[in-house]
Amino acid sequence: TRVTNNLEAFWMPFTANRQFKANPRMFVSAKDMHYTTADGRSVLDGTAGLWCCNAGHSRPRIVEAIQHQAAELDYAPAFQMGHPKAFDLASRLVQLTPPGMDHVFFTNSGSEAVDTALKTALAYHRARGEGSRFRLIGRERGYHGVGFGGISVGGIVSNRKMFGTMLTGVDHIRHTHDLSRNAFSRGLPEFGAEYAEDLERVIALHDASTIAAVIIEPVAGSTGVLIPPKGYLERIRAICDKHGILLIFDEVITGFGRLGTPFAADYFGVTPDLMTVAKGITSGVIPMGAMFAKKHIYEAFMQGPEHMIEFFHGYTYSANPVACAAALGTLDVYQEEGLLTRAAELAPYWADAIHSLKGLPHVIDIRNLGLIGAVELEPIQGQPTKRAFTAFLKAYDKGLLIRTTGDIIALSPPLIISKAEIDDLVTTLGDVLKTLD
Ligand code: PMP
């Protein structure tokens, strides 16, 4: 096509990142577990796009739902006029969410869902006459998107550096232990409660009654698949409760079946006060996110007769009809094919498969849960991302899409992956690892 033949010209207006510019790659179509590249090669999707295409690619059921909706009602400002699909979707979603998460605010992305959750936490405390609670606590190595709120509470310092001051009144849980390559990232039971005390330490730096919310990814995805030990999230929950602080789970990656349960909250048996989702809500087909709130929180700031305040929310495209149709089609696929629990069935096979890479050159850690995993490589001195990025390029040439963060290879295939495709993924990755300098 014109674009693929003329990448140089294409880059000018398109703000692709540096990695892409250095090594242009182009997907032109996708079906189920595979992409097709501009030069006609098939690439196995080991990352569900960007952790989002949980139902696989271009599923007819979802495509038809979108086509039908676009022809019938393309747009309505959902929070002014309403339309049936917004109501249908909200009802379907709250049947799936953890107990008590009964109210949903629609957004168009994970970043917007995070912003909405942070705003909600502040509004909740103010509605209850506790406006002194303004501080927000994130976590070292947390990733919460690219909005002002998400970058601020996010725990990746390099993402904030070039912007100078972002939100004020933000602090982060600083872990006294490295989070990877140890009991933390392997979900071992021993140290859960102990690691959680890092939250008490950051609270102690402030007056606890000034803290509005703690935001955490139950399993940190983008920073290298960090699986908390048993007891960790329970203790985080207990500490928040003790101090009257709201707990927000950012389930943008873990939501919609990644761990073998609909949400990570179900897997860990810990219910947050607010929960953000995106990605898997439409299986990546159309931008959509959502923020769920427990009933008593919703009622405090949306309905409480004495504290009624105007909660300022509503994007032009919140609950866009076509996005709602895509999400409803996606939920149909998840439910008809049992995809929200499929990761649990495949988890033992997945675990054996990726742990078979142990002992290959430079592999220093392997971790997994449900259908998520990471292979951590020993960094080259002074070039901390080079080895994994080389693996990414070689895997792409061999027909496998992986994702890298630092020297960690992250894997999160669509939930429709077969055992044969898991074998294929691991064999290709193993072949790549064997060739790394
Ligand atoms: N939170 C988490 C945990 C994420 O992984 C991401 C995206 N990778 C986001 C928020 C931001 O989502 P989006 O890119 O849709 O804005």
Between CA 105 and CA 109 the distance in angstroms is 12
State whether the beta carbon of 141 lies less than 6 angstroms from ligand 1: no
H or E element at residue 248: strand 246-250
Among 316, 336, 356, give the residue marking a domain's end: 336
Residue in 222, 315, 372 to alter for ligand 1 test, most ligand atoms within 8 A of Cβ:
222
Complex ipTM more than 0.95, yes or no? yes
Do both 253 and 295 map to the same domain?
yes
Q: What are phi and psi of 196, to 5 degrees?
A: -65, -20
Do both 244 and 350 map to the same domain?
no
Do both 12 and 105 map to the same domain?
no
State whether the beta carbon of 278 lies less than 6 angstroms from ligand 1: yes
Do both 329 and 345 map to the same domain?
no
State whether the beta carbon of 111 lies less than 6 angstroms from ligand 1: yes
State whether the beta carbon of 145 lies less than 6 angstroms from ligand 1: yes
Among 336, 351, 377, give the residue marking a domain's end: 336
Do both 318 and 346 map to the same domain?
no
- Give the pLDDT score at 12: 62
Do both 44 and 91 map to the same domain?
no
Residue in 152, 219, 252, 405 to alter for ligand 1 test, most ligand atoms within 8 A of Cβ:
252
Q: Domain span at residue 410?
A: 2-55+338-434
Do both 119 and 49 map to the same domain?
no
pLDDT tier for residue 182 given thresholds of 50, 70 and 90: low
Distance of CA 52 from the midpoint of ligand 1 (Å): 10
- Give the pLDDT score at 99: 92
Report residue 184 as tokens. Answer: 């933390």
- Tell me how far CA of residue 383 lies from CA of 53, 136, 240, 388, in angstroms: 31, 33, 39, 10
Contact status, residue 133 vs residue 210, Cβ threshold 8 Å: yes
* Average pLDDT taken over every residue of the chain: 92
Do both 193 and 175 map to the same domain?
yes
Among 305, 336, 367, give the residue marking a domain's end: 336
CATH number of the domain at 406, please: 3.90.1150.10
Do both 39 and 84 map to the same domain?
no
Q: Domain count of the chain?
A: 2
- Give the pLDDT score at 177: 74
DSSP labels for 250-300? E-TTTTTTTTSSSSHHHHHT---SEEEE-GGGTTTSS--EEEEE-HHHHII
Which region holds residue 225: left if phi is over 0, alpha if psi is between -120 and 50, else beta?
A: left
Do both 422 and 293 map to the same domain?
no
CATH number of the domain at 163, please: 3.40.640.10
pLDDT tier for residue 154 given thresholds of 50, 70 and 90: very high
Do both 298 and 326 map to the same domain?
yes
State the CB neighbour count (10 A cutoff) for residue 16: 11
State whether the beta carbon of 110 lies less than 6 angstroms from ligand 1: yes
| Share above pLDDT 70 across residues of the chain, in percent, rounded to a whole number | 91
In tens, the pLDDT along 320-349 reads 999 999 999 999 999 999 999 999 999 999
- Give the pLDDT score at 84: 95
- Give the pLDDT score at 10: 58
Do both 184 and 310 map to the same domain?
yes
Higher pLDDT, 381 or 21: 381
| Share above pLDDT 90 across residues of the chain, in percent, rounded to a whole number | 78
